[in-house]
Chain A
Amino acid sequence: MRKVLMKGNEAIGEAAIRAGCLNYFAYPITPQSEVAEYLSKRMPEVNGVFLQGESEVAVGYMIFGAAACGARVMTTSSSPGISLMSEAISYIAGAECPAVFVNIMRGGPGLGGILPSQADYLQATKGGGHGDYRLLVMAPASVQEAVEMVMQAFPLAEKYRNPIMILGDGLIGQMMEPVVFPDDLKTEPGNKNDWATNGMDFRGSDKRNLVRSLYLDPEVLNAQNLKLKAKYEQMKREEIRYESYKTDTDYQVLIVSYGTMSRVCKTAIDNLLEEGIRVALIRPQTLFPFPEAAIRQAASAKSCRVVMSIEMSMGQMLEDVDRSVQGRLPVEWYGKCGGDVPTPEEVADSVKSFLQKYSKE
């Protein structure tokens, strides 16, 4: 396969097409508008659907309507837009339809800023919309990985009949990197006729299908929620992904970091090693399900003094890291979330100060 140089946002759009997703609805917002611009040209070339909706609220329901028909469908947005889509995401999860949402995060709260951020961690992993639902959340650290995750997201959404979120920071969308596209995805699951409102004639059935999230009987609603919970438990068993870096050393500090931030951490780790300070990294590639066991195990290393959650948010992932470590070691946070990505030097300084603090004790 040929290597091409592409901007993250355009690569994400192209990846959707190659995954067989020919239906895209969106509303412009920085820093991801290039996805819509790219697909407004590309979709007509492949006889696909491109529509610019009137708001992210409407786009969320265009996605719902299309997904409920069994169509592969995607939207992309950034933080404030994802807040508006969260109502629809809750309904889609409740109604068990597959769909892919990409959030190229910018700073918040409110209008925040347009520069990279990871401040929607809790929104993505803990809900965002109302009710007991979860999204399978994948966090790419490069344009290549963004492409791969987008292409993997559609079969995963269909496997679980649940929305999937690709959570990238603004840099993933904006930077240009070489990409090799995986083989086109040609297959679709054969079970769509069991549930999709794709028309009785179309599926050759006398049974009508109903897509809904309303269950007025408390026992039935409870059963539905248990069914959803079972899916999320299955995700925890089958879909956890992470990368380990330098975990085969006698590391003194364990960093947990994802996305662009994890790349800076790797540079810092390499630089620190030259000074004789040994640091390891666990990079969650799925944020839900979260690699709890891997982090717990890594935090059990005898040489390790402290675990750090390094994130472009004010200690959101820290809660999950803390939960994973289960009191085995102190857990600390470092990060920034105004739009500047912390430098390797800043990360190294923070690592050194915490190492000093906990080496004394």
Chain B
Amino acid sequence: MGKTFHKPEALSDAQTHYCPGCTHGVIHRLVAEVIDELQIRRRTVGIAPVGCAVLAYNYFTFDFQEAAHGRAPAMATGIKRVRPDLMVFTYQGDGDLASIGMGEIIHAANRGEKFTTIFVNNAVYGMTGGQMAPTTMPNQRTTTSPFGRNVADVGMPIKVAELLAALQTPAYISRQTAIKPKYIVKAKKAIKKAFEYQLAGKCFSFVEVVSTCPTNWGMTALEAVNWAENTLLPYYPLGDVKTPE
């Protein structure tokens, strides 16, 4: 029997620091598989966010830059403008991208920068201990919304994929999730499509991945998957939101 399972070359041997049941690791693997399949590892530059994935570069085997909180899209812009031949992606959480870095992502998308963004939406600030994010659900309890997110006070959660899709500049914008195998297969397809658009020099490409943070949600891994499926997915519908044609 032939080899049926192997670790992508783009993925390192480092042991993960992510919590059990966290989907960051799954998403890393999908990105690595796509990079292997497209054979672009040796000309890729990744950009790590500030968030739980700040050490993402430990898990990959190609060039990486580490951004300040929210600024990865500006860094990616700098790279792509001076080196359009490099394949560039940002990997960002929802606090990083949708709060402090909202300006950078909107303008990069609107300029049609030819890089790819992987947006990990876990409805919470994971790294700093579970504070409210712009994507936190109505009434969701976090350490800074102890009585639940009060939308009368802080507004509704931001649907970033739809927000970016509303820009007039052509782009590939998709929302996927990594909580169950049936979704993961589709998420990988979207990530691959996103990199292919970049490879073709076509447009800005963006994949939001609805994710889990069992640690800060105060749930077991299984409870987290179910909560994401029952609570997050109805508000954050899956699928391609916009394609460039």
Interface positions of A (Cβ within 8 A of B): 23, 25, 49, 51, 53-55, 57-69, 71, 73, 87-88, 91, 95, 197-202, 208-214
Taking CB atoms, residues of chain A closer than 8 Å to B61 are: 208
Per the 8 Å Cβ criterion, residues 43-85 of B in contact with A are 43-45, 47-48, 54-55, 57, 60-68, 71-72, 74-79, 81-83, 85
Q: Is B103 an interface residue (CB 8 A)?
A: yes
Asked if A23 and B81 sit within 8 Å, CB to CB, the answer is yes
Select one of B63, B72, B78 contacting A200, CB under 8 A. B63
Partner of A53, one of B64, B67, B74: B74
* B196: Cβ under 8 A from any A Cβ: no
Asked whether B68 lies within 8 Å of A197 as measured between CB atoms, the reply is: no
| Given A51-B81, A65-B74: A199 touches B67 (CB 8 Å cut-off) | no
Say yes or no: A61-B81 contact (C-beta < 8 A), given A55-B103, A200-B42, A201-B43: no
User: A54-B103, A57-B71 given as contacts; is B62 within 8 A of A200 (CB)?
Assistant: yes
Question: Are B62 and A62 in contact (CB-based, < 8 A)?
Answer: no
Evaluate contact between B63 and A210: CB separation under 8 angstroms.
Answer: yes
Q: Point out the residues of chain A lying under 8 angstroms from B74, CB to CB.
A: 53, 57-62, 64-65
- Partner of B83 from the list A54, A58, A198, A209 (CB cut-off 8 Å) is A198
Contact A214:B54 (CB < 8 A) given known A69-B86, A73-B82, A199-B42? yes
How distant is A217 from chain B, measured CB to nearest CB, in Å?
12
Interface residue ranges, B against A (CB under 8 Å):
41-45, 47-48, 54-55, 57, 60-68, 71-72, 74-79, 81-83, 85-86, 103-104, 107
Q: What is the distance, in angstroms, from A196's C-beta to the closest C-beta of chain B?
A: 8
Given known contacts A61-B71, A197-B64, is B81 in contact with A212 (CB within 8 Å)? Answer: no
11 A-B pairs in the complex with CB atoms less than 8 angstroms apart: A53-B77, A61-B74, A64-B74, A69-B83, A73-B82, A197-B63, A200-B63, A210-B65, A210-B66, A212-B57, A214-B55
A-B contact count (CB 8 A): 130
Partner among A68, A201, A210 whose Cβ is within 8 Å of the Cβ of B75: A68
Residues of A near B54 (CB, < 8 A) are 214
B19 to chain A, nearest CB (A): 17
Which residues of the partner chain B approach A57 to less than 8 Å between Cβ atoms? 71, 74, 103-104
Q: Determine if B65 and A213 form an interchain contact, defined as CB atoms under 8 angstroms apart.
A: no
The answer to whether A58 and B71 have CB atoms under 8 Å apart is yes
A293 to B74, CA, bound (A): 42
| B45 x A197 contact (CB < 8 A) | yes
**Is there contact, CB below 8 Å, between B67 and A61?**
yes
List 4 A-B pairs, minimum CB-CB distance, nearest first: A65-B78, A65-B75, A61-B74, A212-B66
Q: How far is the CA of A168 from the CA of B164 in the complex (A)?
A: 40
A63 and B67 alpha carbons, distance in the complex (Å) = 12
Bound: A55/B107 CA distance, A: 10
Q: Which residues of A contact B67 (CB under 8 A)?
A: 61, 64
Chain A residues, CB < 8 A from B44 = 199
- If A58-B104, A198-B83, A211-B65 touch, does A64 touch B43 (CB 8 Å cutoff)? no
Tell me, in angstroms, the Cα distance from A95 to B104 when the chains sit together: 21
CA distance A25 to B61 in the complex (A): 30
A51's nearest neighbour on chain B, judged by CB, is: B81
Decide: B75 and A87 in contact? CB cutoff 8 A: no
B residues less than 8 Å from A54 (CB atoms): 103-104, 107
Interchain CB contact under 8 A, A71 and B82: yes
Which residues of the partner chain B approach A23 to less than 8 Å between Cβ atoms?
A: 81-82
A69 to B77, CA, bound (A): 12
Considering only CB atoms, which chain B residue lies closest to A54 in the complex? B107
Which of B64, B66, B71, B78 lies in contact with A66, CB distance below 8 A?
A: B78
Chain A: minimal CB distance from B68 (Å)? 5
Check if A69 sits within 8 Å of B82, measured CB to CB: yes
Chain A's closest residue to B84 (CB) is A49
Contact across chains for A87 and B62 when beta carbons are under 8 A apart: no
Does B79 lie within 8 Å of A58, measured CB to CB? no
- Determine the distance from Cα of A247 to Cα of B170 in the docked complex, in whole angstroms: 65
By the criterion CB–CB under 8 Å, are B81 and A49 in contact? yes
Contact B66 A63 (CB under 8 A): no
Q: Is the CB of A69 within 8 A of B103?
A: no
A54 to B60, CA, bound (A): 31
A88 to B45, CA, bound (A): 19
Q: Which residue of A lies closest to B55 (CB)?
A: A214
CA A59 to CA B60, docked complex, whole Å: 27
> How many Å lie between the Cα of A151 and that of B229 in the bound state?
58
Write out the residue numbers on chain B whose beta carbons fall within 8 Å of the beta carbon of A91. Answer: 68
| Complex alpha-carbon distance, A16 and B83, angstroms | 19
